[in-house]
Structure 1
């Protein structure tokens, strides 16, 4: 058995949410086998445990959003990361309850209280995440997409603090919005103004080589108190890091150029002697369920994501 085979075997010992993505990206198996494994996400493991926490009010944690990680928005974001099949009965049932019952009352500014969940609220970082899960699960989020287009800043990105005068974009907000626009395009949305805005935002990241200031200096720490962007977390929630930036570019089918070389080298440098990557950091807050990974120890989620961005670079670079 080669070292790579051993790593794939180790990944396949994980949760169904990891396994189906490994089979799709790295396993070389047929679509039927991938689909069968994916279907298990809603009935076994982490995915099933998350779905079981949904309340009769349609919400998780009783609210649309909170500062922990156990609200409706956060759980839907995690289910999207797990790859819960939007067409499957578990997803249709859960998302239908959210659509019918969940509003923003008690979560954010009072002006958003009456909004249905998929109408969002006022901050682009939050609305980006809502639009991403809405598009993924087949909801109509065109209104949110249009709002996000209107909030793009002159340098190409987005910033939640624009309403209080910020004129420079934030990596954190920008990645949330980029993922939303791409998700919308990938799930049936087709509008040149959306693609144009997304490509401008994408260029904002590429021009900064995914972790540098416009001056060229490395951004060593998120000024809002998050981790170093060169340290990898899962889930990332609203936080940017280099691996998340690369994952977006891979998903967008961007052809790698020299502007991503430094970021790719960084990812490759973190592989341990067994061919795995560690969970390097996590973000304080109440997790809806534990994923069974420990900071400082090998992580199936980080390893899967690192392997597929390296594979993307090798295939497309």
Structure 2
């Protein structure tokens, strides 16, 4: 590896990661990375997850939690960790890895018929009350061809006065959360990419982005101090967790969609990302979230992560304005 471009190491990866390295780091022609992307459904991580799908369209028998999850047992204790094997988490991975929706043909209808949220037994594609869950429902529904219009409208109706969102609004919270806001933005951006959005959804997205940008992606508005040590904890899989790298990669993707330039208010977050780069050109896995998973897709904490290195390289190249 070199200090700037550990490409050989990055390319020695599962197809789910390799095609993104080819596209975003090597700038390979579409025919190259598209061929690799097509392999995700038949090889490696993607194929393994697809093979674990239940006949009713779900994974692990549940929408957000496995069917055998004991809400009163040890696995539900504080610090035990959310199980990551149920339908929503699995769909998130398959979608983020670039699996073609045709590999899941019929899944949207199966989930409409068979999957209900653990919260109030609500229908799967109708969403529920959690901002992050609803965002993933939007993104996964758009990908698989489900009608998620009602969930998209929910975000407009539940945006808080400060411009963001908070999953704890049902508990009375009126202040937005970095975590919830970033996840909400990802769903709204996916909706805009697929449908063009509406005046209301585009305005909601811009307002949510301003919530993060006015805080430099990492600081409290009140005193300018870091919102929490977790902004510098870069991990993969990201799950629901916010970090400066996760947020910066969202804005990089946003700029690819609308042609916007990097916002200078992100400079502090970019410096944090740059400082986290190791002398060999890699980024190190931070403290990962505990919980049941199908199988590991990245290294343990403290080791060089190919996923995080991909994210770090493409964010810095976007910010620096050069491939």
> Cα–Cα, structure 1 residues 138 and 250, in superposed 2: closer, same or farther, change >3 Å?
farther
Q: Which residue of 2 aligns with 1:224?
A: none
Note the alpha carbon deviations across 1:160-205, whole angstroms, 9 max, x for none: 1212221110111111110000001111243111111000000000
Q: Which residue of 1 aligns with 2:76?
A: none
* 1:98 to partner: Cα distance: 3.0
**Alignment equivalent of 1:289, drawn from 280, 291, 295:** 295
Give the TM-score normalised by the residue count of structure 1: 0.90
Q: Distance in 1 between matches of 2:18 and 2:108?
A: 24
Note the alpha carbon deviations across 1:239-277, whole angstroms, 9 max, x for none: 111111101111111422321011111111111111011
Contact 2:141 2:148 in 1 (8 A): yes
Q: Which residue of 2 aligns with 1:57?
A: 56
Q: Distance in 1 between matches of 2:278 and 2:109?
A: 43
Q: Which residue of 1 aligns with 2:119?
A: 108
Moved more, 137-146 or 266-275: 137-146
Q: Which residue of 2 aligns with 1:184?
A: 191
**Alignment equivalent of 1:242, drawn from 225, 244, 252:** 244
Q: Distance in 1 between matches of 2:315 and 2:150?
A: 32
Q: Distance in 1 between matches of 2:144 and 2:309?
A: 26
* 1:28 to partner: Cα distance: 2.4
Q: Distance in 2 between matches of 1:312 and 1:136?
A: 26
**Alignment equivalent of 1:91, drawn from 84, 104, 108:** 104
Q: Which residue of 2 aligns with 1:78?
A: 93
SS in 1 for 2:84: coil
Structure with higher RCO (Cα < 8 A, 6+ apart): 2
Q: Distance in 2 between matches of 1:236 and 1:2?
A: 26
Q: How many residues align?
A: 301
**Alignment equivalent of 2:225, drawn from 217, 230, 235:** 217
Contact 1:50 1:289 in 2 (8 A): no
* 1:34 to partner: Cα distance: 1.3
Contact 1:61 1:71 in 2 (8 A): yes
> Is 1:271 paired with 2:286?
no
Contact 2:163 2:208 in 1 (8 A): yes
Q: Which residue of 1 aligns with 2:19?
A: 20
Contact 1:62 1:71 in 2 (8 A): yes
Contact 2:237 2:298 in 1 (8 A): no
Structure 1 segments of 4+ aligned residues over 6 angstroms from their partners: none
* 1:134 to partner: Cα distance: 1.6
* 1:125 to partner: Cα distance: 2.1
* 1:229 to partner: Cα distance: 1.8
Moved more, 44-53 or 248-257: 248-257
Q: Distance in 1 between matches of 2:10 and 2:112?
A: 34
* 1:122 to partner: Cα distance: 1.8
Q: Distance in 2 between matches of 1:2 and 1:279?
A: 19
Q: Distance in 2 between matches of 1:8 and 1:141?
A: 39
SS in 2 for 1:252: helix
> Cα–Cα, structure 1 residues 230 and 3, in superposed 2: closer, same or farther, change >3 Å?
closer
Contact 1:135 1:180 in 2 (8 A): no
* 1:315 to partner: Cα distance: 1.7
* 1:71 to partner: Cα distance: 0.8
Contact 1:65 1:108 in 2 (8 A): no
Moved more, 155-164 or 127-136: 127-136
Structure 2 unaligned segments of length 5 or more: list them. Answer: 66-81
Q: Which residue of 2 aligns with 1:42?
A: 41
Give the TM-score normalised by the residue count of structure 2: 0.88
SS in 1 for 2:232: coil
* 1:92 to partner: Cα distance: 2.6
Contact 2:125 2:146 in 1 (8 A): yes
